[in-house]
Amino acid sequence: MIDDRAASTAISYVLIISLALVLTTGLILGTESLIQNEREDSVRQQLEVVGQQLAGTVMTVDQFNGTEAPPEAAAVTRQFPGRVAGSQYRVGVIADDPDSGRYTLYLDAVDPDVNVTVPVQQVDAGLRPTRVNGGPLRVEYVDASQEVVIRDA
């Protein structure tokens, strides 16, 4: 009987260990997947917010040029976050149709690989195609080239 009990204890021990391992592994994998999905959503949402706010600022600076005399100083500095949900990102400008003032801002995060685009409609000035790191940005009007330029602040 003593041998039987000893064998039963060992089997129970192995079973418990195995079950605990399976449960823990499942929990880790499930949680990791959940966190990854949530993180991607967070990154996308934050990029969309940053993109919309940057587009609004770009179009506002375009309105700075709405006077007969060109502005001597026209710039807005925005304190955008350097990381979105822990991920670095970059901001770029694509000229879709400069003649009709249509441009696209694109923001892409490094990890996870998430991209967001925001359309911009310019009225008075062009928007210089550029690519800068996310973070504090300075949007200014350059009269020499009659363009709105996005720079690192």
Partner 1 sequence: MAVVGLAGRERAQLLLAGAFVLAVALIGLTIVLTSSSYTTTLANQENGVVRGSDAVTVRKSLDHELTRQFEFVFRNYSAGNRRTPFETVVAQTGNETTTHYARRGRLVNVTMDASGAGFIEGARIKQSEDLNLDSPSNVPNWVVAEDVEVRNATLIIGDISDAIPTSSPSTATRMFFETPGAGGDWSLAFMEQSKDIDGDGSLETVWNISSISPSGKLRSCVREEVNSNYEAKLDLDAGTLNGDRCGALLALSPEGNRYDVRIVRGARTTAARYWLIVDKQPGSLGTLFAGPFTDAEPVLYGARVRYRYHSATVTYETNVDIAPQELS
User: CB of residue 104 vs partner 1: minimum separation in angstroms?
Assistant: 19
How, if at all, do strands 87-97 and 102-109 pair? antiparallel
Which residues touch 6 (CB under 8 Å, ≥6 apart)? none
Footprint of partner 1 on 19-78 (CB under 8 A): 20-21, 24, 27-28, 31-32, 34-35, 38-39, 41-42, 45-46, 49-50, 53, 56-57, 60-61, 63-64, 66-78
Burial 48-75, CB ≥16 within 10 A → b, else e: bebbeebbebbbebbebbeeeeeeeebb
> Residues in the site for partner 1, rule: CB under 8 A?
6, 9, 13, 16-17, 20-21, 24, 27-28, 31-32, 34-35, 38-39, 41-42, 45-46, 49-50, 53, 56-57, 60-61, 63-64, 66-79, 81, 84-86
